Amino acid sequence: MLDKTAAFKRALGNYPTGVTVVTACTDTNEPIGLTVNSFASVSLDPLLILWSLDKKSQLHPYFTTTQKFAVNILASNQEQLCTLFASKIPDRFAQVKWAYSPHNLPILHNVAAVLQCQTVRQVDAGDHTIIIGQVLDIDDTQQEPLLYHRRHIGQIPASFYE
């Protein structure tokens, strides 16, 4: 029999999620970002989203002190962005196309959608911090999203739409 932690990981690993790269800037205006699949909508009025960040992440101090962040929802052909921003490579932004938005947030090129957000609340949640943001701006390209399921990254199977 699996212990509770292993059972929890196995059960939630069987729940497919979208894949995002959350980006922001340090206090010296350097871009930072990491791959996140713990992302969800919260409210329509006002428009709120949430994502969670491991407290052991080296980027935790930056994301918990910044007032703005962007959620880049990856397109189905952007597995390499998922892998890159999940890695510990020091200058990830040097390897991708991106630009600063009018909100001064680093935005990745050709993603499925971007939600630029103002941080409104942070919640201590065990070994993670839940960050809640109010959506300031939305860019939706209507591309198919990248999915994460059972430790695999891929796109929605064509048979899903039949």
Query: What is the per-residue pLDDT across 35-72, written as a single tens digit (0 to 9) for each?
Result: 998 999 999 999 999 999 999 999 999 999 999 999 99
H-type alpha helices, 29-161: 60-63, 79-86
Q: Which CATH number fits domain 24-145: 3.40.50.300, 2.30.110.10, 3.30.2080.10, 1.10.10.10?
A: 2.30.110.10
Indicate if the alpha-carbon torsion angle 42, 30, 34, 145 is positive or negative: positive
Give the residue from 32, 72, 34 showing the smallest Cα distance to 53.
34
- Is residue 128 classed as helix, strand or coil in its secondary structure? strand
Every domain of the chain and the residues it spans: 24-145
Query: What is the per-residue pLDDT across 103-127, written as a single tens digit (0 to 9) for each?
Result: 999 999 999 999 999 999 999 999 9
